[in-house]
C-alpha cells in the first residue's frame, strides 16, 4: 500500500471513528477550542457544526455544575494528567429545558516528536445512570432515616425530609385523625369527607403552605387525593392547568397549587394491607422536569415503606391509648373530702405506664395516702397497677399498719411477677422488680403519722412554716424484688404539716440531677399560704419536661387535727354493770352534740360492742366516740383475738351482737393495736345534725 492509500485509509478510519463512535468525542487545540466533534457528543446533537466548532471548553460547559472542567482541561494540557469519569450537570445547548449529567474523560494529544497537539475529550450522557443511582441512594437514605421512632408525626417528617429537595420541590403528609388517635382502622376505601390531620410539610421555599401541623383538614370530592384514598391507587398528574376541573373541587387547595406554579404532582395513599393511614403528595414547581412514571414508582416505594413505620407508630399510639384509658379507668376519682387531711394531686399519664395514687378513708377518722409506680409501660403495666391498687386498698381497709401492709402487698406482687405475661416487653431487658410504693397513714386525733416505703422516693415533709421536717422512713425493697421486710416509721406532726408523695417521673428525667429537682420541689412547696392546687400546678410547670417520657404523680396532703370537743373517751371495768353506764355516757354525749335522733341506735351499737368486750376481751375497756363526718364508736380491750361474726340459729339465746352492729352501722370492723384490739362502728350523720 503506497503512502497516499495509507493516508486515505487513516482518514477513513478517523472519519468512521467520529461518525460511528457511541461516545461523544471532542478534539481541542492548545487554546482549548473545539476543532472537531462527532454527532454522538451529548449536548450538541442536532446543533449545526458551525455553532460548535471554535467554541472553547469554557463556553460549552457554561451553566454546568460539578467538577471545574476548564481547570481540569488546562491541567491536563499542561501536565499530561489523565482525567477520568468526572461528572458535570447542567442544561445543554441541544435541550436547554432538560438537566443533563455528563461524564468527562480528558487526555492530552502529543505528536511523535513530543509536540503537544491539543486535548481529546470523551463525553458520555449518564443522566439515566445517575438517576438510577440517585434513586438507589434515595431508597438507602430512606431506609436509614425513616422510622427511627414510634412517633407518627416524626415519621412523617422524616419522609418529607427525604423527598425534598431530592425528588420533589414540596411534599405533604396527611394522616387519618383516627390513626393518630390510636383508634382501630377499617380496611378499604376512605370517604372524601374523612378528617385528616397535617402531619408534615416541607418545601424548598422554606415556608409553610396550607394546614398547619396537627390541623384538621379534608380533601374535596373528585380530586386526585380523594380518588387515591378511594381506590388506593397512586396518581400522577402532569401539565397542571389552572382550569383543571379537579382544582375547582377543592378551591382553597387548588388556589395554593396554582399560585405556587405547580406543574406536576404525585399523590400516593399511605396503606398497609389495604388499610388506609393517610396520603402523601409531592409537588414540583421549581425544577422544570415533570414527574414521570419512574418518579411515580419511586415515590410509591418510599411511601409504602413509610406506611409500615407509620402503622407501627399508630399501633403504638393505639396501645398507648388503650393503656392510658385503662390506667385512668383504674385510678380513683377526685380524692374524698376528709377531716384528717386536705388533699390535691397532679396526675400526668404521659408514658402510659403504671403510676398511681390513692387517698383511703380509714377507721377512727384516719386517712391513708398512697403513691406507687409499676415498672414498664403499656397495657400490662396499667393492668398490674389496677391489681396492686385494688389489693392495697383492700389491705388498707383491714387497718394494717403501713409496714405490715407492704409485707402483704409484696406477697401479691411476687405472685404477679411469677405469672406476669411477657407480652409488651419486646426486646426490653427483664424487670428486676414489679413496682415501688409508699404508704402513709395519718391519725387526726393523735396527729401521729406512720409510713413505710418499698423502693420509693422518700416523702417530703414541710412544717406549718414551710421548713423541712425530718421523717426518715426506712427504704424496703421494691415490690416483687428479693429482700427483707418493711419497717414503719412514726412521727407526731403539728397541724398544717404538708406531706408530698410523688413518683420518679416528677424529679428523675434524663439530663437532670434528681437531688436538685427534689430540692427545687421543696422550694416550690414551701409556701404555707398557697393552696394545694396551685402548689401542684407550680410543681408540674417547673419540674416536668416539655416532652416527658414517663408518667408522673404528685399527691399533696395538708394535715388537720380533730378538735378536742369532737372526741370523748372513757375507761370502764370489765363488768356487766358497765353496759348501762356506757349507754348513759353515750346518751349524754350525743345530747351535748345536739344529736338526739342518733341516741337510740348508738346506744344499741355501744351496748353490743361493750358486751362483746366483757365476754371475750381482756383487761379494762376503753369506749371512745368521735364526731367526724360520720359518728364513730370504738370499744377497745387488751385481747388481740379478733371477733368473728356468726349467724345465730332460732334456738340460740346469744350470738347476735355483731350481727346487730353490722345491721345498724354503715361501716364496721376491727383493728389491732399495740395494746390489743379495737372494734369500731360508723354511722352516717343525718342532715342538719351537729358537725
H, E, C per residue of 670-687: EEECCCCEEEEEEEECCC
pLDDT of residue 351: 59
pLDDT of residue 268: 95
Q: Nearest 5 degrees, angle CA 636-CA 641-CA 644?
A: 95
Block mean pLDDT (10 aa), the chain, length 691: 71 70 83 83 73 84 81 89 86 74 88 86 80 77 81 90 92 89 78 86 82 84 89 91 87 89 94 88 91 91 90 77 70 82 87 81 93 84 86 90 93 84 48 87 95 94 93 92 87 95 85 83 92 92 76 92 92 89 93 92 91 86 92 90 57 60 87 86 72 44
Q: Is 226 left (phi over 0), alpha (psi -120 to 50) or beta?
A: alpha
Answer yes or no: are the C-beta atoms of 409 and 437 closer than 8 Å. yes
pLDDT of residue 370: 95
pLDDT of residue 643: 67
Answer yes or no: are the C-beta atoms of 490 and 450 closer than 8 Å. yes
Euclidean distance between CA atoms 523 and 543, whole angstroms = 12
pLDDT of residue 426: 43
Answer yes or no: are the C-beta atoms of 630 and 666 closer than 8 Å. yes
218, with CB counted inside 10 A (0-12, 13-18, 19+), is: middle
As beta bridge partners, residue 176 has 196
Cis check: omega of the bond before 518, within 30 degrees of 0 = no
Task: Please give the grid coordinates belonging to residue 128.
Answer: 439515566
pLDDT of residue 511: 66
Q: Please name which of 388, 361, 366, 379 lies closest in space to residue 423, comparing C-alpha atoms.
A: 379
Cis check: omega of the bond before 165, within 30 degrees of 0 = yes
Q: Nearest 5 degrees, angle CA 490-CA 491-CA 492?
A: 135
Helix (H, G, I), strand (E, B) or coil at 52: coil
**Per-residue b/e over 548-586, b at no fewer than 16 CB within 10 Å?**
bebbbbbbbbbbbbbeeebbbeeebebeeebbeebbebb
**How far does the chain reach from its first CA to its final CA, in angstroms?**
135
Count the helices and strands in the chain (H runs, E runs).
Answer: 18, 27
pLDDT of residue 548: 65
pLDDT of residue 291: 92
Backbone angles phi, psi at 423, to 5 degrees: -60, 135
pLDDT of residue 61: 82
pLDDT of residue 491: 95
Amino acid at each position: 500500500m503506497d503512502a497516499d492509500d495509507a493516508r486515505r485509509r487513516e482518514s477513513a478510519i478517523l472519519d468512521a471513528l467520529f461518525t460511528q463512535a457511541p461516545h461523544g468525542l471532542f478534539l481541542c487545540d492548545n487554546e482549548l477550542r473545539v476543532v472537531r466533534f462527532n454527532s454522538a457528543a451529548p449536548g450538541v446533537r442536532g446543533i449545526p457544526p458551525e455553532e460548535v466548532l471554535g467554541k472553547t471548553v469554557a463556553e460549552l460547559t457554561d451553566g454546568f455544575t460539578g467538577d471545574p472542567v476548564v481547570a481540569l482541561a488546562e491541567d491536563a494540557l499542561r501536565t499530561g494528567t489523565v482525567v477520568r469519569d468526572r461528572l458535570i450537570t447542567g442544561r445543554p445547548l441541544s435541550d436547554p429545558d432538560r438537566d443533563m449529567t455528563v461524564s468527562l474523560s480528558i487526555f492530552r494529544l502529543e505528536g511523535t516528536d513530543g509536540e503537544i497537539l491539543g486535548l481529546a475529550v470523551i463525553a458520555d450522557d449518564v443522566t439515566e445512570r445517575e438517576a438510577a443511582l440517585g434513586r438507589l441512594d434515595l431508597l438507602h437514605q430512606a431506609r436509614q432515616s425513616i422510622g427511627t421512632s414510634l412517633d407518627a408525626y416524626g415519621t412523617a417528617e422524616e419522609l418529607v425530609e427525604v423527598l425534598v429537595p431530592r425528588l420533589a420541590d414540596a411534599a405533604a403528609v396527611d394522616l387519618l385523625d383516627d390513626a393518630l388517635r390510636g383508634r382501630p382502622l377499617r380496611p378499604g376505601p376512605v370517604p372524601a369527607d374523612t378528617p385528616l390531620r397535617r402531619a408534615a410539610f416541607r418545601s424548598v421555599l422554606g415556608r409553610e403552605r396550607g394546614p398547619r401541623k396537627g390541623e384538621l383538614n379534608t380533601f374535596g370530592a373528585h380530586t386526585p387525593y380523594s380518588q387515591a384514598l378511594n381506590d388506593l391507587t397512586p396518581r400522577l398528574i402532569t401539565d397542571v392547568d389552572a382550569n383543571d376541573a379537579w382544582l375547582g373541587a377543592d378551591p382553597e387547595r387548588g388556589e395554593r397549587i396554582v399560585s405556587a406554579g405547580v406543574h406536576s404532582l404525585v399523590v400516593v395513599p399511605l396503606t398497609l394491607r389495604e388499610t388506609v393511614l393517610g396520603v402523601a403528595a409531592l409537588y414540583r414547581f421549581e425544577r422544570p422536569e415533570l414527574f414521570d412514571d419512574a418518579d411515580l414508582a419511586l415515590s410509591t416505594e418510599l411511601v409504602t415503606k413509610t406506611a409500615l413505620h407509620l402503622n407501627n407508630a399508630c399501633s403504638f399510639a393505639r396501645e398507648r391509648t388503650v393503656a392510658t384509658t385503662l390506667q385512668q379507668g383504674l385510678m380513683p376519682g377526685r380524692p374524698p373530702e376528709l377531716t384528717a387531711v386536705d388533699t390535691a394531686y397532679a396526675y400526668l399519664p404521659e408514658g402510659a405506664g403504671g403510676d398511681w395514687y390513692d387517698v383511703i378513708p380509714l377507721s377512727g377518722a384516719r386517712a391513708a395516702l398512697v403513691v406507687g409506680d409499676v415498672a414498664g409501660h403499656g397495657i400490662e403495666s396499667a393492668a398490674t397497677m389496677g391489681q396492686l391498687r385494688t389489693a392495697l386498698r383492700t389491705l388498707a381497709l383491714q387497718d394494717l399498719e403501713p409496714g405490715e401492709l407492704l409485707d402483704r402487698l409484696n406477697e401479691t406482687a411476687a405472685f404477679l411477677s411469677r405469672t406476669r405475661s411477657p407480652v409488651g416487653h419486646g426486646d426490653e431487658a427483664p424487670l428486676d422488680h414489679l413496682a415501688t410504693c409508699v404508704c402513709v397513714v395519718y391519725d387526726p386525733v393523735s396527729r401521729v403519722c406512720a409510713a413505710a416505703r418499698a423502693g420509693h422516693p422518700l416523702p417530703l415533709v414541710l412544717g406549718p412554716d414551710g421548713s423541712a421536717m425530718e421523717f426518715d422512713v426506712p427504704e424496703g425493697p421494691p415490690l416483687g424484688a428479693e429482700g427483707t421486710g418493711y419497717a414503719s416509721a412514726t412521727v407526731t406532726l403539728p397541724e398544717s404539716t404538708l406531706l408530698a408523695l410523688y413518683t420518679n417521673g416528677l424529679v428523675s428525667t434524663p439530663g437532670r440531677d434528681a437531688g436538685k429537682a427534689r430540692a427545687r420541689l421543696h422550694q416550690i412547696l414551701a409556701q404555707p399560704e398557697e393552696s394545694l392546687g396551685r402548689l401542684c400546678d407550680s410543681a408540674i410547670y417547673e419540674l416536668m419536661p416539655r416532652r416527658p417520657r414517663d408518667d408522673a404523680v404528685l399527691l399533696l396532703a395538708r394535715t388537720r387535727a380533730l378538735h378536742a370537743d369532737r372526741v370523748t373517751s372513757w375507761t370502764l371495768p370489765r363488768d356487766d354493770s358497765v353496759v348501762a353506764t356506757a349507754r348513759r355516757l353515750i346518751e349524754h354525749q350525743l345530747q351535748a352534740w345536739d344529736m338526739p335522733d342518733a341516741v337510740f341506735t348508738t346506744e344499741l351499737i355501744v351496748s353490743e360492742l361493750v358486751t362483746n368486750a366483757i365476754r371475750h376481751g381482756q383487761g379494762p375497756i376503753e369506749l371512745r366516740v368521735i364526731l367526724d363526718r360520720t359518728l364513730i364508736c370504738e370499744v377497745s380491750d387488751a385481747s388481740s383475738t379478733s371477733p368473728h361474726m356468726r349467724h345465730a340459729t332460732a334456738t340460740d339465746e346469744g350470738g347476735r351482737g355483731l350481727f346487730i352492729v353490722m345491721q345498724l352501722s354503715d361501716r364496721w370492723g376491727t383493728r389491732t393495736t399495740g395494746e390489743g384490739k379495737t372494734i369500731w362502728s360508723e354511722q352516717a350523720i343525718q342532715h342538719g345534725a351537729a358537725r
